[in-house]
């Protein structure tokens, strides 16, 4: 039976044998108080966009919406997710959790700013809920709330001893509560989490006033610290730590790696202070050489993922010392993912031949970076992104070049943007598997094989390359700012475009129509494969190629922010959609093919709307 109601009646609570109740597309603000009497209810549905699931045979077991009044009466309840504490209604207060001793798995408590003091928080009896292994404690993030009150409340929310995962979010206290204790002294460095020796994961997020963290449990495998602007000290990291994330801690001055080898697999540092430099300094002190034994001394031999973003302060040493320490981090043979962003001290990057597992490399905004070792093009690399490194050039040793001539690769995506000094992109023999290629803002770059490939001169015309050519590649998508980059590569048989389905020309500085050679590119190499063509931010481009009409597979045409284009050429019969945005000089459209389904127009000449405003297929977004 399905009916439409604005709210559920209180009499619903008298249907004691009801087992199924489904609420769809509800806008109700609350559910009836009597709902807690439906002990036989097995409930699935939606409530204010949040999933509700109550199930059980004879008992209510699982709730995914927390504002059922007096939920504490459901003493057999095993799961409750996202419990929201109310300050106005006792039936939805923190004390409702007191008698729910069968709770297990994950428990998340929100709106803890509505708890008045330690005594009220203690009513929840969290420490007695021995089956709960993951606990999340959330306060609304506010800089105005009294941190002393948060400290009192957290003192009363002592977690159960078997807890494996703990998250604190929005806590405004300066220190962690008294359910941590000191061992032998009152020094903060001796504090540890009492009865939480089984804790495996600790997340501390948006704790604005927190200054120190106690000593960490020995079994901790994951530590995440984000948005703690006043945090100054993190104690010695546990030997078994596998994942460390530190974001947004500009005052951090102490971050100590393990003294002996650890199991650290993921290291993610973003917007950190001198603590990062202190860690690098400790690495230098613990092992001055780059041998594997010294690396074991600082505990990064198993590192799989390394991310360092905007950690720019220099406190404990010069640039060279820091780069030596970074080189140590990059010696892990297990490394698969590397991201270095916004590092003004980085001048060179040496990636050794031992990085046989490396798959994903992202280097962005390193303004002093001049060279990258050629071992970057490893046989395992699948994704390479280099962006906004204005001084970057690539140095290649002759021995490595010879090795590259005979080596293929598994590279799938190559993205190089904003590197004006880059003249050569290693040896393209390594990129025969590339599916997606982006080269923008690199005016000196060429895409030509070493040795000359086809050996043709600069005046050779472009001829169709047979599909069976040895240089055939799976290249499907290209984004460039200069078509001559492709024509030159085609002339030397460095690229094959017979599978290209997407071409985007972005940020082009060209102020003349396409050359005959560039139009020939469309005629011979793209006429049967190209499905999507884009012209984006080409501020000087006066017109589109006339050969456009002959692209028999083209389905989508997108023209955005090309202010000098005045008209469009004839369009191919296969075209299904056209976007024309930010082209104020376009006053009219050519004859539209019957296949066309949608035309979206915005920021163009007003005459277009006057002439085509009533066309069903044409949508004006202005």
79-138 pLDDT, tens digit per residue, is 777 889 987 777 789 999 998 888 889 999 999 999 999 999 999 999 999 999 999 999
Q: Among 138-147, 418-427, 494-503, 505-514, where is mean pLDDT lowest?
A: 418-427
Looking from the CA of 433 toward its CB, the CA atoms found within 13 Å total 15
Percent of the chain with pLDDT over 70: 70
Q: What is the overall mean pLDDT for the chain?
A: 78
Q: How many C-beta atoms lie closer than 10 Å to residue 59's C-beta?
A: 16
Mean pLDDT, rounded, for 467-486:
75
Over residues 19-25, the mean pLDDT reads 54
Q: How far is CA 538 from the centre of its chain?
A: 29
Q: Residues 244-271: pLDDT tens digits?
A: 999 999 988 777 666 555 688 999 999 9
Mean pLDDT across 164-186: 76
Q: What is the pLDDT of residue 485?
A: 84
Average pLDDT of 574-579?
96
Q: How much is the average pLDDT of 596-609? A: 94
- What is the structure's pLDDT at 364? 97
Three-class SS state of 234: strand
Range in 166-175, 307-316, 329-338, 490-499 the model is least confident about = 307-316
Reported as a pLDDT band with limits 50, 70 and 90, residue 37 is: low
- The whole-number pLDDT of residue 280 equals 56
The tokens describing 126, both together, are 């969290």
Is residue 377 very low, low, confident or very high in pLDDT (cuts 50, 70, 90)?
low
Q: What is the mean pLDDT of residues 310-315?
A: 64
d(CA 222, CA 348): 31
Tokens 């559920």 -> residue? 8
CB 409 within 8 Å of CB 403: no
pLDDT for residue 86: 86
d(CA 494, CA 157): 65
Q: What DSSP state is assigned to residue 382?
A: -
Beta-bridge partner residues of 272: 249
Which residues are CB-contacts of 67 (< 8 A; sequence separation ≥ 6)?
A: 30, 31, 84, 86, 92
Segment 585-609 mean pLDDT: 93
| Contacts for 289 with CB less than 8 Å, ≥ 6 apart | none
Structural domain boundaries in the chain:
241-335, 356-455+471-487
**CA distance readout (Å), 406 to 402, 403, 430, 612:** 7, 6, 9, 58
E strands within 501-546? Answer: 502-506, 532-536
Residue 408 pLDDT level (bands cut at 50, 70, 90): low
CB 583 within 8 A of CB 559: yes
| Residue at token pair 């003349």 | 512
pLDDT at 247: 95
Span 564-585, average pLDDT: 95
pLDDT, tens digit (0-9, with 9 covering 90-100), for 200-241: 999 999 999 999 888 888 889 999 999 999 998 888 888 889
Most confidently predicted of 85-89, 168-172, 280-284, 374-378: 168-172
For residue 554, pLDDT beyond 60: yes
- Token pair in block for residue 116: 């008045």
In whole angstroms, give the CA distance from residue 546 to residue 233.
65
Bridge partners (DSSP) listed for residue 241: none
Query: pTM for this structure?
Result: 0.80
Q: Give the residue from 207, 206, 313, 327 showing the smallest Cα distance to 253.
A: 313
State the pLDDT at residue 324: 58
Contacts of 3 (CB under 8 A, 6+ apart): none
Residue pair 454/520 in contact by the 8 Å Cβ criterion: no
Question: Which pLDDT band holds residue 297 (cuts at 50, 70, 90)?
Answer: very low
**Spatial separation of the C-alpha atoms in residues 235 and 216, rounded to whole Å:** 7
Q: Is the pLDDT of residue 186 over 90?
A: no
The pLDDT score that the predictor gives to residue 257 is 63
pLDDT at 469: 43
Q: What is the pLDDT of residue 38?
A: 60
Report which of residues 608 and 409 the model is more confident about: 608
Listed in order, strand segments (DSSP E) in 462-597 are: 477-480, 502-506, 532-536, 556-560, 577-581
């Amino acid at each position: 039976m399905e009916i439409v109601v604005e709210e559920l009646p209180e009499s619903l609570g008298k249907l004691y044998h009801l087992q199924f109740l489904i609420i769809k597309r509800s806008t109700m603000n609350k559910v009836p108080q009597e709902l807690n009497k439906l002990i036989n209810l097995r409930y699935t549905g939606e409530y204010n966009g949040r999933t509700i699931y109550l199930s059980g045979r004879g008992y209510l077991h699982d709730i995914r919406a927390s504002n059922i009044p007096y939920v504490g009466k459901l003493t057999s309840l095993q799961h409750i997710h996202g419990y929201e504490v109310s300050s106005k209604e006792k039936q939805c207060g923190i004390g409702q959790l007191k008698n729910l001793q069968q709770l297990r798995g994950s428990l998340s408590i929100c709106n803890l700013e509505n708890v008045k003091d330690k005594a009220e928080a203690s009513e929840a009896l969290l420490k007695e809920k021995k089956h709960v292994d993951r606990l999340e404690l959330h306060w609304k993030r506010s800089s105005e709330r009294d941190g002393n009150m948060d400290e009192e409340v957290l003192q009363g929310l002592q977690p159960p001893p078997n807890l494996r995962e703990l998250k604190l979010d929005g806590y405004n206290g300066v220190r962690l509560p008294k359910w941590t204790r000191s061992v032998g002294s009152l020094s903060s460095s001796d504090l540890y989490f009492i009865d939480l020796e089984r804790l495996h994961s600790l997340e501390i997020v948006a704790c604005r006033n927190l200054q120190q963290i106690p000593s960490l449990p020995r079994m901790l495998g994951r530590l995440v610290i984000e948005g703690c602007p006043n945090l100054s000290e993190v104690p010695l990291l546990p030997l078994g730590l596998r994942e460390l994330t530190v974001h947004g801690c500009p005052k951090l001055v102490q971050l100590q790696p393990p003294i002996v080898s650890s199991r650290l697999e993921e290291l993610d540092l973003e917007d950190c202070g001198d603590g990062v430099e202190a860690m690098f300094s400790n690495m230098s002190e613990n092992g001055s050489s780059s041998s594997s034994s010294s690396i074991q001394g600082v505990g990064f031999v198993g590192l799989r993922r390394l991310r360092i973003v905007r950690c720019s302060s220099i406190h404990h040493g010069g640039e060279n010392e820091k780069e030596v320490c970074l080189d140590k981090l990059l010696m892990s043979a297990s490394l698969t993912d590397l991201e270095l962003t916004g590092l003004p001290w980085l001048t060179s990057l040496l990636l050794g031949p031992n990085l046989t597992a490396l798959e994903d490399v992202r280097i962005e905004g390193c303004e002093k970076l001049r060279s990258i070792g050629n071992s970057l093009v490893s046989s395992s690399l699948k994704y390479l992104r280099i962006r906004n490194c204005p001084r970057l050039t690539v140095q290649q040793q002759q021995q490595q070049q010879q090795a590259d001539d005979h080596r293929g690769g598994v590279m799938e995506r190559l993205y190089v943007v904003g590197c004006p000094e880059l003249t050569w992109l290693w040896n393209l023999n390594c990129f025969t598997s590339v599916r997606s290629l982006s080269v923008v803002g690199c005016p000196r770059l060429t895409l030509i094989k070493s040795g000359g490939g086809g050996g043709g001169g600069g005046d050779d015309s472009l001829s169709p390359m047979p599909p069976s050519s040895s240089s055939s590649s799976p290249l499907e998508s290209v984004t460039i700012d200069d078509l001559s980059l492709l024509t030159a590569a085609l002339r030397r048989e460095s690229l094959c475009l017979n599978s290209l389905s997407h071409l985007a020309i972005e940020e082009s500085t060209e102020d003349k129509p396409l050359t005959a050679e560039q139009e020939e590119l469309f005629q011979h190499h793209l006429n049967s494969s190209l499905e999507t063509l884009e012209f984006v931010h080409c501020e000087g481009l006066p017109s589109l190629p006339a050969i456009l009409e002959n692209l028999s597979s083209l389905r989508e045409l997108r023209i955005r922010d090309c202010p000098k284009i005045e008209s469009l050429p004839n369009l191919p019969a296969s075209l299904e959609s056209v976007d024309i945005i930010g082209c104020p000089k376009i006053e009219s459209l050519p004859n539209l093919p019957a296949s066309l389904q949608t035309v979206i127009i915005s920021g163009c000449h007003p005459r277009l709307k006057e002439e085509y405003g009533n066309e069903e297929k044409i949508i004006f977004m202005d």
